[in-house]
Chain A
Amino acid sequence: MRTLRHLMLMAALSLGLAGCYKDDIDVAALTNNPFDADYSGPAIFSLDTIYVEQVTGPPNFLRQVVQFKVNASLFLAPASYQVEVHDLLEGTRTLVGQVPPGSHTLRFYRLEYLPGQEVCLEMRLTNNNAFGRPETICGTWP
Chain B
Amino acid sequence: MFLCVHLIGALGLLAAPAIAQTTGQLRLVVDPGHDFQVILDGTHRLQERVLELSEGNHRLQLWAPTRRIVDTTVYVRAGSSRELTVRLPYSPEYLAHQQEVKRFRERLWLNKALPTVATVGAAAWTTVSYLNYRKAGRQLQDDKDLYNTSADPGAIAELKDERLPAHQDDFRRSKVMLGVSTGVFAVAAAYTIWSYRRADRTPLPVFDDKEKVRFDGLVWLPGPDGRGVWAAGLTIPLR
User: A residues bordering B, Cβ < 8 Å?
Assistant: 2-3, 6, 10, 17, 20, 22-25, 27, 30, 33, 35-38, 75-77, 79-81, 125-132
Contacts and interface: CB of A to CB of B under 8 A. Distances in A.
Given A30-B160, A30-B164, A75-B151, 20 more contacts: A6-B193, A10-B189, A17-B130, A20-B134, A22-B141, A22-B175, A24-B168, A24-B171, A25-B140, A33-B148, A33-B150, A35-B153, A37-B157, A77-B151, A79-B151, A80-B151, A127-B152, A128-B155, A129-B154, A132-B153
Contacts of A75: 151
24 contacts: A2-B197, A10-B186, A20-B134, A22-B133, A22-B138, A22-B171, A23-B137, A25-B164, A27-B168, A35-B153, A36-B147, A36-B156, A36-B157, A37-B153, A37-B157, A75-B151, A79-B151, A126-B153, A127-B151, A127-B153, A127-B154, A128-B152, A128-B154, A131-B153
Contacts of B138: 22
Contacts of B152: 35, 127-128, 130
Contact of B140 (A22, A125, A128, A131): A22
Interface residues of B, number: 34
Chain B contact residues, majority secondary structure: helix
Contacts of A132: 153
A114 B175 CA distance: 62
A129 B151 CA distance: 12
Contact of A30 (B147, B189, B197): B147
B144 interface: yes
A20 B175 CA distance: 12
A95 to B, nearest CB: 14
A22 B137 contact: yes
Contacts of A125: 151, 153
A30 B148 CA distance: 9
A20 B160 contact: no
Nearest to A22: B137
